[in-house]
Every structure is written in C-alpha cells, then in structure tokens.
A and B are shown apart, each in its own frame.
Chain A
Amino acid sequence: MTEQREDRVPTVIADNVHLTYKISGRYAKRGGAAALARTVMRQSTPGMREVRAVRGVSFTAWRGEAIGLIGPNGSGKSTLLRGVAGLLTPSEGAIYTLGEPALLGVNAALISTMSGERNITLGCLAMGMTPDDVAERYDGICEFSGIGEFVSLPMNAYSSGMGARLRFAIASSKSHDILLIDEALATGDAEFRARSEERIQQLRKEAGTVFLVSHSLGVVRATCDRAIWLEKGEIVMDGATEEVLDAYEERHDPKSAARHREQRRLAGEASAKSPTQVSATG
C-alpha cells in the first residue's frame, strides 16, 4: 500500500513549523520615550515577550482526509490552525497549502451588530459568491443552521450555540479546499452535531481536507480518520484516530480509556480496526 503516496494529493504541508506570538505593549518595556524609540528604530525590543506556541511541527495532510487535532489546553492546536489559515506567519519553517483555507472558530463572530440575514449575505459574498449564488443558497443556509426566526435578529442576541451554528452553516455552504474547524461544533446541541458531522463528511467527499480541533474525543472519533496529538507545541503522535486517541486517553483520562477497552472487548476485535464503527461517546 505504500505506493499510494504517489497518487495522493497533498493539501497542507507543515515543514518544521515554529509559531511564535509576540506579546508587546503592556508586558513590554514601558514608557512613551521607549515606545517612540522602538517605532523609530523599527526594532523588536528586548522587553518584548515571546510565546512559543508551536515548536517544530511537521506533517502532511492529503486530499480527502479529516484530521483531528487533540491535546490539552495550551498545547498549540488553535495556533497551528491559525498558521495553516495563513493568519500567523511561522517564525521558522513553512506551511504550504493547496487552495484557500477557511477558518471557523468559536469566537470568530462575523459582524455581531448585524442580523443573521445580513451576515449570511455578507459571509457568502465575502467567500466570492455572486448575488445570484447567495439567493440560491440562502434558504439552505437558514435551514441548516436551524435558528428559525432568530435570523432577523442581530447576532449579539444569539446564544453561543446559535452563533456557532449560523457560522458553520455559512462557512460550509461552499466547498472549501481546506476547512479548519476550531471548537466550532462544541457549543451545538446533539442534533446539530450529528448534522454537522454529516456535512463534514460531505465536504471531505468534495475533495476537501478538514481539520478539527475539539476537546470532545467522541466528535473526533466520529468525524476524523486521522488524529494529531499535540502537547506543549510538539507532536506526540500522528496516526489513525483510534490509535492516537487510545494513547491520548491512556495518558489523560485512564478511566474512559478503560471503558473503551471494555466496550471494544465486548464488541469483538474485528470492529475495533475500523474507526467509523466505534460508537461515539462523550
């Protein structure tokens, strides 16, 4: 099966990526004179603090893959996604993408003071649709988001779950080459989660690559065929979802790891090999 590598199309290649946040301002050297001097000299200051969120990550994502990024808080998952989206420039190494990535995050509000209707129109136009396209897909987006008459209210009147649903509905109305989902499904209810998982599968079929950051291992198990485990900005493990998640649970949540082992023993060894067969819990 090794010859498959030649036929697969890479969509994201991360080559020894280091991502660093520069914290300036309050935490840097104080004083107007110092700030002015910095501006004039165009220097980064010794007082500037750097946070190395991702250190030396390498992976290759292929077309049609759904990759779950897992790891404890602060392990650099979201930062890595923002790097892939092109919103952060690696301080070392490089990220290459085939096509335009779209990032979908929890706090990535569109325009919160505007109504859902307007956000749908604006979001679709911003993604490069024509007004005709938008009119055509408008109803589908409303329906998928399932927010009902709330669509005419400004988005800051929405619950976080409704906001996330609408954003996901807008972003997924168009097939993306690379869709990056950052905890966006975490706030949805069970019914919406099931629908969005279906949509993710569909997007993958349309020759896209999906990245999913989630703390819910159940969602990762149900939607992803590959998982990358990050810890303190480094990859601990990269492989088939089952393998990685089992190892991850063994480390961070021995209780549910034991439960899963038990379930699998009951279900028999055969089903354990195929990731999609395992029931999603959590």
Chain B
Amino acid sequence: MTQLGEARQNRPGGDPLSRAEVQQLVSRYGLKRAGARESLSTYTSELWNRRHFVVEFARATNASGYSRSFLGQSWQVLTPLLNAGVYYLLFGLLLKASRGVPNYISYLVIGMFVFQFIQGTLDGGARSLQSNLSLARTLRFPRAVFPISATAIALQQMLMSLVVLVPIVVLTGEPIRLQWLEVIPALVLQSLFCVGLAFLFARIGAKVPDVSQMLPFVMRVWLYASGVMYSITQVTAHMNPLVGKILGVNPAAEFMDLYRGALLASGPSSTLGEWFSAFAWTVVVLVGGYVFFWKAEEEYGRD
C-alpha cells in the first residue's frame, strides 16, 4: 500500500457513507458480513485445516480433566475396570442372573461399554460449546471442532474399555478367534455415529442449557430400552413381534449386537442386514447432525 502515508494524512474519519456507497464498497472489495456462516464446502475445508487442533485439543482437555486427581489418567483404565467389577458382583454373584444369555457377564459388560461411549459423546457434545465459551469468543474457527473433540475424548475412553474387555471376555470362556477383528469396523461406524450425535446435541445444548439436566433421564430410558442387561429377542419373545422390532432398530442396541457378534462365540454372529442397518444409522445421523450443526454456526458463542 503505497498510498498508506498519504491516506493517513487524510481526515481519517470522513463523513459517514450513504447506504448505496456502503453497498458499492462491499461488493467492490468483497467484504463479508461480520460473523457470517461459510458455505458448507468452505466450512468443511476450514474444519479439515483444523484437524491438528482437534487432536491436540482433545488430548489437552482429556489430560486437564484428570489433572486434579492423584491417579491421573490411569482412571481411564480404572473406571471401566471398576464398572465391570460392580456388574460382576451384582449380576454374576448376587443375582446370578443370566436371562437366557449364555455368557451373561461378557454380554452385559460389552453392552455397558458400548452404551457408555454413546453416553460420553452425548454428555460431552451437549456441554462442548458452553464449556469452551471463552476460547470460542477469542478466536474464530469452525465451532464443529468442539463436538468432534468431545467425541474424540469419549472414543479414547472407549479404547481403554476395549483393552479391559479382552481379558474379561477370555476369562469368561470365549475362544480367541479371527472374528474379533469385526470390532474394528464396528468401532469406526460407532465413532462416526457418535460424532453425528455430538453435533446434534451440541446445537441443542447450546440453545437450551436445560438439556444437560434432562439428559440423564433420557439416557436412562435409552439404556433400559437398549437391551444392555437383557436380550431383546429373549424378553420380547412372548410379546407382540412389533415390540421386538421397534426395540431392535434402536441404534444403540444394533451397535451392541455388532460388538457381541464379533466377540462372543456363545452368541449369534452379526448378519449382513445388521451391518447394513448400523451403517444406515451412521450415515443419516452423521450427515444430518453435521448440517444441523453448521446451520446455526453463527449463533454459537453469542449472548
């Protein structure tokens, strides 16, 4: 800018421009309305540019979450371990429940861990914008970073849970087999599904803060309806077949069945139909959630 020097000598304020002059300048130099939302493709590429930020942010948030406890990040392994211990005590030793399921302990623990992954993303997603307000107000970047990080944190917990899960499954008498590898596509699908959920609830949670108060109840109903502690097919066997169908299309139940089919030789393997159904859920929730979140991008971090 060679004219900078002279420009500064000008009366800097000048008269306010008329609306027509403003519009002329805006279109001539390509100014954008402050805080306007980018197109979906620009937004996505901006988000892709921030991928390192997402990873680093998730790691840092995770570490700072445990920074005040003595045992630090070992809680990531301890929590699922203690959970499994409680289930074993309660259902294995005290109630001696099996409800027609061959390897009930593994069946229950798998269901619980899979559900906790969903629950973790929902909780984290719903709070993700509220708890990072000051960062969001300082720097501008696609806000989708926050729900994705929330999912990444929950995913890390899920990976630890899977590590804990292996000895449990083996100790309860399941053979080590090649089909265990099916866990990998199941985890990929579920992670993408969870990202979609986090998007959905991040927007809802940002608009209606009361959602975090409501979520525990919704989650409990979902938990009981998902067949974590019982087999949907067994329990609904004597009921109207529609009930079993309706409970069966619940995505949480479907993901649990994928993991169970992979890990438990005592139960049925997953059919192609089940895989397809989980895939359909993932695509719908992921794409729907992303677009839903992006639509309100301008409103996050406002008063």
A residues near B (Cβ < 8 Å) are 1-2, 4-5, 7-11, 13, 15-16, 21-22, 39, 58-60, 62-65, 67, 82-89, 94-98, 100-105, 107-114, 118, 121-123, 125-128, 130-131, 167, 171, 207, 225-226, 228, 237-240
| Contact B135–A110 (Cβ < 8 Å) | yes
| Contact B31–A4 (Cβ < 8 Å) | no
**In the complex, what residues of A have CB within 8 A of residue B13's CB?**
59, 226, 228, 237-240
Q: With A87-B35, A114-B60 in contact, is A5–B14 under 8 Å at CB?
A: yes
Residue of B nearest to A167 (CB): B138
**In the complex, what residues of B have CB within 8 A of residue A39's CB?**
208
| Contact A63–B1 (Cβ < 8 Å) | yes
| Contact digits for B14-29, partner A, Cβ 8 Å, 1 yes 0 no | 1011010010011001
State the CA gap A164–B34 with chains docked (Å): 25
Within 8 Å by CB of A239, from B12, B26, B57, B301, lies B12
| Contact A15–B140 (Cβ < 8 Å) | no
| Contact A225–B12 (Cβ < 8 Å) | yes
| Contact A105–B31 (Cβ < 8 Å) | no
| Contact B29–A62 (Cβ < 8 Å) | no
Q: With A96-B22, A225-B12 in contact, is A13–B31 under 8 Å at CB?
A: yes
- Residue B7 CB within 8 A of the other chain: yes
**In the complex, what residues of B have CB within 8 A of residue A103's CB?**
137-138
The 5 closest A-B pairs by CB, nearest first: A86-B35, A238-B13, A226-B12, A125-B53, A96-B31
State the CA gap A113–B61 with chains docked (Å): 9
| Contact B1–A87 (Cβ < 8 Å) | no
Q: With A1-B6, A64-B4 in contact, is A125–B34 under 8 Å at CB?
A: no
State the CA gap A62–B14 with chains docked (Å): 11
| Contact A86–B57 (Cβ < 8 Å) | no
| Contact B140–A83 (Cβ < 8 Å) | no
B263-303 residues with Cβ-Cβ distance < 8 A to A are 298, 301-303
A-B residue pairs in contact (CB < 8 Å), sample of 25: A4-B7, A4-B10, A5-B10, A10-B29, A13-B17, A58-B17, A59-B16, A63-B1, A67-B12, A86-B34, A89-B302, A96-B22, A98-B30, A101-B34, A103-B138, A105-B138, A108-B134, A110-B134, A111-B61, A111-B64, A122-B56, A125-B56, A125-B57, A126-B135, A226-B12
| Contact A101–B140 (Cβ < 8 Å) | yes
Q: How far is the CB of A23 from chain B (nearest CB, A)?
A: 9
Residue of B nearest to A107 (CB): B134
- Residue B79 CB within 8 A of the other chain: no
Q: With A83-B34, A110-B135, A114-B64 in contact, is A125–B52 under 8 Å at CB?
A: yes
**In the complex, what residues of A have CB within 8 A of residue B6's CB?**
1, 4
Q: How many A-B residue pairs have CB under 8 A?
A: 165
Within 8 Å by CB of A127, from B8, B17, B139, lies B139
State the CA gap A83–B14 with chains docked (Å): 21
**In the complex, what residues of B have CB within 8 A of residue A105's CB?**
137-138
| Contact A87–B301 (Cβ < 8 Å) | yes
**In the complex, what residues of B have CB within 8 A of residue A89's CB?**
35, 298, 302
B residues near A (Cβ < 8 Å) are 1, 3-4, 6-14, 16-17, 19, 22, 25-26, 29-36, 46, 49-50, 52-53, 56-57, 60-61, 64, 67, 132, 134-135, 137-141, 145, 208, 298, 301-303
**In the complex, what residues of B have CB within 8 A of residue A97's CB?**
31-34
Q: With A88-B302, A110-B138, A239-B12 in contact, is A122–B60 under 8 Å at CB?
A: yes
State the CA gap A43–B299 with chains docked (Å): 17
| Contact B3–A104 (Cβ < 8 Å) | no
Within 8 Å by CB of B50, from A5, A125, A228, lies A125
| Contact B1–A64 (Cβ < 8 Å) | yes
| Contact B34–A240 (Cβ < 8 Å) | no
Within 8 Å by CB of A126, from B9, B12, B50, B301, lies B50
| Contact B34–A95 (Cβ < 8 Å) | yes
State the CA gap A8–B49 with chains docked (Å): 31
Q: With A65-B12, A100-B140, A226-B12 in contact, is A10–B7 under 8 Å at CB?
A: no
State the CA gap A67–B64 with chains docked (Å): 39
| Contact A7–B50 (Cβ < 8 Å) | no
State the CA gap A180–B52 with chains docked (Å): 26
| Contact A98–B12 (Cβ < 8 Å) | no
State the CA gap A2–B1 with chains docked (Å): 17
**In the complex, what residues of A have CB within 8 A of residue B141's CB?**
126-128
**In the complex, what residues of A have CB within 8 A of residue B56's CB?**
121-122, 125
Which of A7, A39, A84, A228 counts the most B-chain CB atoms under 10 A from its CB? A7
| Contact B29–A98 (Cβ < 8 Å) | yes
| Contact B31–A10 (Cβ < 8 Å) | yes
| Contact B25–A60 (Cβ < 8 Å) | yes
State the CA gap A104–B16 with chains docked (Å): 27
State the CA gap A3–B47 with chains docked (Å): 42
State the CA gap A123–B139 with chains docked (Å): 8
Residue of B nearest to A61 (CB): B12
State the CA gap A243–B14 with chains docked (Å): 13
